[in-house]
A and B are shown apart, each in its own frame.
Chain A
Amino acid sequence: QCIQKKITEYFSKN
Chain B
Amino acid sequence: MLELRLVQGSLLKKVLEAIRELVTDANFDCSGTGFSLQAMDSSHVALVALLLRAEGFEHYRCDRNLSMGMNLNNMAKMLRCAGNDDIITIKADDGSDTVTFMFESPKQDKIADFEMKLMDIDSEHLGIPDSEYQAIVRMPSAEFMRICKDLSSIGDTVIISVTKEGVKFSTSGEIGSANIVCRQNQTVDKPEEATVIEMQEPVSLTFALRYMNSFTKASSLSDQVTISLSSELPVVVEYKIAEMGYIRFYLAPKIEE
Tell me whether B252 and A10 are in contact (CB under 8 A). yes
Beta-carbon contacts of B38-59 to A below 8 Å, as 1s and 0s?
A: 0010011111000000000000
How many inter-chain residue pairs (CB < 8 Å) link A and B? 61
Which of A1-14 touch B at CB < 8 Å? 1-14
Query: How close is B214's CB to chain A, nearest CB, in angstroms?
Result: 14
Tell me whether B44 and A7 are in contact (CB under 8 A). yes
Q: Which residues of A contact B196 (CB under 8 A)?
A: none
Q: Which residues of B contact A12 (CB under 8 A)?
A: 126-127
Tell me whether A2 and B206 are in contact (CB under 8 A). yes
- Beyond A10-B234, A13-B127, A14-B127, whether A2 also contacts B255 by CB under 8 A is yes
Tell me whether A10 and B206 are in contact (CB under 8 A). no
Query: How close is B153's CB to chain A, nearest CB, in angstroms?
Result: 20
Beta-carbon contacts of B213-257 to A below 8 Å, as 1s and 0s?
A: 000000000000000000011100000000000000011111111
Q: Which residues of B contact A8 (CB under 8 A)?
A: 40, 44, 124, 126
B175 at the interface (CB under 8 A from A): no
Which residue in A1, A3, A11, A14 is a CB contact (below 8 Å) of B47? A11
Tell me whether B45 and A11 are in contact (CB under 8 A). no
Tell me whether B126 and A6 are in contact (CB under 8 A). no
Q: Which residues of B contact A7 (CB under 8 A)?
A: 40, 44-47, 126, 234, 250-252
Tell me whether A2 and B254 are in contact (CB under 8 A). yes
> Roughly how many angstroms separate A7 CA and B127 CA in the complex, as a whole number?
11
> Roughly how many angstroms separate A12 CA and B127 CA in the complex, as a whole number?
6
Interface of A toward B, CB cutoff 8 Å: 1-14
A-B complex: 10 closest residue pairs judged by Cβ atoms: A2-B254, A11-B126, A5-B252, A14-B125, A14-B127, A6-B44, A7-B47, A7-B252, A1-B257, A4-B254
Interface of B toward A, CB cutoff 8 Å: 40, 43-47, 124-129, 157, 206, 208, 232-234, 250-257
A-B contact sample (14 more), CB < 8 A, given A4-B254, A5-B45: A2-B256, A5-B254, A5-B255, A6-B43, A6-B45, A7-B40, A7-B126, A8-B44, A11-B47, A11-B126, A11-B127, A11-B128, A13-B125, A13-B127
